[in-house]
Structure 1
Amino acid sequence: MPGSIGFRPTEDDERILREAAQPGESTSDTLRRALRLLDHERWLTQFRADAEQLKDEDLDAEPEAW
């Protein structure tokens, strides 16, 4: 993984960065926050898929683990 990542924002990227930035936040901070939100969204997507897969699971039908 490189130590730094080059990024040439488009006009639309710059608009999004301006609108998304919190007071006193640098562009790097805004991008880091966006990456964490993206990571969280991916986690939620997986969580929802797992929940959908397990929605009919009946834990009362499982033998006790102890």
Structure 2
Amino acid sequence: MPSTIGFRPTAEDARILREAARPGEATSDTLRRALRLLDHERWLEDFRMDAAALADEDVNAEPEAW
């Protein structure tokens, strides 16, 4: 994994970074926060897919594990 990542933001990227930044927050901190939010969104998507796949599961119909 690279120790630094660089990119040339488009005008739209720059606008998003300006609007998303908290007061006094560095651009790198804004990007870190955005990456964590993206990771969480992906986790939620996986969770929702698992929940949909198990929607018909009736755990009360299964034998006790102990």
Amino acid of the residue matched to residue 41 of structure 1? E
- Please give the alpha-carbon distance, in whole angstroms, between the structure 2 residues aligned to 1:61 and 1:2: 50
- Aligned structure 1 segments of 4 or more residues deviating by more than 4 angstroms: none
TM-score, normalising length from structure 2? 0.97
Uncovered stretches (5+) of structure 2, i.e. residues with no partner = none
Matched, 1:21 2:18: no
Give the aligned partner of residue 49 of structure 1: 49
Matched, 1:37 2:37: yes
- Please give the alpha-carbon distance, in whole angstroms, between the structure 1 residues aligned to 2:44 and 2:11: 30
The Cα RMSD (Å) is 0.5
Amino acid of the residue matched to residue 50 of structure 1? D
Secondary structure at the aligned position of 1:65 is classed as: coil
Give the aligned partner of residue 6 of structure 1: 6
Query: Share of identical aligned residues, percent?
Result: 77
Uncovered stretches (5+) of structure 1, i.e. residues with no partner = none
Deviation at 1:34, TM superposition (A): 0.3
Count residues in correspondence: 66
Deviation at 1:6, TM superposition (A): 1.0
Amino acid of the residue matched to residue 52 of structure 2? E
TM-score, normalising length from structure 1? 0.97
